[in-house]
Chain A
Amino acid sequence: MAKKKERESSRRNFLKLGLGLGAASVAGVMSEKLMDAGEVPSNGSGEKVKVLTTNGKLIEIDAEQVGLAKKKDVYISREEARKGIPNRKFVMVIDLAKCKNARKCIEACQEGHQLPKEHEWMKVYLMQDSADAAPYWFPKPCFHCDNPLCASVCPVGATYKRSDGIVLVDTERCIGCKFCMTGCPYSARVFHWKDPEVKADPDSQYSPEMNIPPKEGTVGKCVFCPDKLRKGELPRCAEACPMGVIYFGDIIEDVVTNGTETVRFSDLMRERAGYRYLENLGTEPSVYYLPPVARLFPVERGYDGLESDIKERYNNEPFVISKENKP
């Protein structure tokens, strides 16, 4: 009565498993690989794994030895957070042809960082470059520019760019002058105008890599989830996107992935004509976009299931107005 394993388990599911296993193939290789990325999770959990030995006995060994230990969060202090994950430079590619404003990226980000609902570190705009151009949904995180004006103008060094390309905000040092917000041409930053009323977890200490809990009178923005990157996981928005719109990777490795697809970054740029938004401002963003050619869905699908107050946001866009004026 042996039932064959359901082959319908989605390829994605398998790959998720397979990726995890592949990366954890051999213990020695695993820890070496992680050392490249700069850290080995010190697992004091004592998790054990059963092993069937050659003489048919069952013994137990540490899960960590075979790379099967649950990846733990490492606390990164404020000083430590100023140095990036060694030998990495992160890049994100957003495929505008696939985005249909599902907004799962926004929800995952808000949940992961304990943000109030009106704070969006990842925003989705409805853009139309000119009257006859095609409208498209435009997810916009912080671009983590290589020439960040926000970091240049911060008077106390509360926002800084690290060696791995990530720009962080240290809300313990931020004085709330909001100069960085006027410095950023991409409106990437939000300000906590009132007490967010989020209880700080008494066990956890503040780290700029997570930037929780939000603090009144300071600035917040997308952080590229370095806490997840250290565990070898994709940022929350990339993981949550049901369409696989967001690709993320290390530009030095020249590979980006959206969880299902893994492609070479240089190939993707060349074949799909990737570009950066407002390139001529010279800020050198780390987020690339793939133009909305051969869209997976029509733009109107972006309205499906939207709450009315979110739908209303786009009312002033020429695309929406022209649709409403059509007979």
Chain B
Amino acid sequence: MELLIRNGFVYDPINGVNGEKMDIAVKDGKIVDKVNERRAKKIDAAGMVVMPGGVDIHSHIAGGKVNAGRLLRPEDHFKDVEPKTAVTRSGVGYSIPSTFTTGYRYARMGWTTVMDPAMPPLEAKHTHEELSDTPIIDKASYPLLGDWWFVLEYLRDGKIEECARHVAWMIKATKGYAIKIVNPGGLEAWGFGRNVESLDDQVPYFGITPREIIRGLCKVNKLLNLPHTIHVHTNNLGKPGNYLTALETMRCVEDLAEDGKPAIHITHCQFSAFKGDDWRTFESGAEEIANYVNAHSHVTLDMGQVIFTDTTTMTADGPFQYTLYTLTGNKWTNHDVETETSAGIVPFHYKRKSYVHATQWSIGLELALLIKDPWKILMTTDHPNGGPFIAYPWIIAWLMSRKAREATIKKINPKARSRSLLPSIDRELDFYEIAIVTRAGQAKALGLKNKGHLGVGADADIAIYNFNPETMDPAKKYKMVRRAFKRAAYTIKGGQVVVKDGEVLKHIDGATMWLDVQLTEPCEMEVNENLKKRFKEYWTVEFENYPVSEDYLAISQPIPVKADV
């Protein structure tokens, strides 16, 4: 099937296209040089913005804890119901939507690739079942390896290469995409009711520190040539004064970066940019983090923007979730995933009138605006922790328009308003920069070669928004921007038109991407013998039932990676 998108204002930062009026040709799901003009289906995009399909580097859309969240919060769903249509299935929202609704809602906004960032290896099968059930979008998942016993042991013994082989096996066995590290050391300590408070605290019974875990896995990441860097949720997340921990975490891998390439991704950085000694002296640490990131090239961040709404927080950071429960008194669950990791869920309502919540809102935007290079700071809400992903159009409007920010600042807590840096920031992102923070930058940080751009050979994932940058100024008409991004004029996934004017036209399945890490010599046996023994002793499942086989994925898309070990 051939497709020709004509006369749109194309924003394709990876190929340096900045709002030029041009045609995009699509054939057999890929972007091509040209197509037969007579045969191809034509889409008239005159007066519209054409961008690559959106990419989301960090969004909790599947897995054991998302499902536990769905169970915990019936009240989240019953006011946000999506009836079935001729082509789509029914489902519910809001902050923890059902799998079908997740796929449709992302597609309606023009997003086509989404990464689920926390998969406990034991729950890998569950995660992949849900991912297979999420329509339209392509997705992948990061296994949680920062508190994985074997990793801790190998790193303690200084066996980096063995550790790399083990991680390669784990990524293959869980069909994962990147190394996720959550509160390194803290989750293992939480198994004993404790936590780690700095990068140099000892993890109980392992004789290793968070710093060694991060550095070790960063080296492993490099040995395996993984496309994405290590994906780190810092220690002390959500505690006042933790911006120092975030800075220290970035600093600790400074020497491991090569040729100015990123070596670490600090995720939902807003939650790690708190200054102050306690909640009363709580302040924004965005400026310090931005200054550091502006001066260094080895870091990428994502925002973790807070939205003023009722949402559900869920992380693998068990101790943090427990702290959140003690703060709010809300209902909660906390889960110890056997020897592997932990998880917790607490419903949370971000309120405009709360000083802390309003400051958190401000921190996310300050980070995005103070960091000069948009390739380093990506747009997320850490869905659903900061707010549901359907709020992206609001964030885009805040980033593009000072007026939009002022309209919200007027309504927030007065103390937060007077301390916020936002009124002093004039920067307004243009569509080119928005294309970077929502797609190109995300795809580049993830190392996805065929996503996030519209060059020849890329996947034909395209989003078209009904906004004319020639006649309208997004900074003034921010409500129009919001409307345009809320309902994409067209979303094209793999060369097929799946959304038109914000309505889903077609239910198609998206692929699940995973890394097929190829080692220089096979070492399955060695890894397996060690694992099997431990499995008998400590796990509730048989080793044979543990790995996810490829036929388990509805549409499997392995990405081969040649490792150095």
Pair from one complex:
no
Measured CB to CB, the residues of B under 8 A from A are none
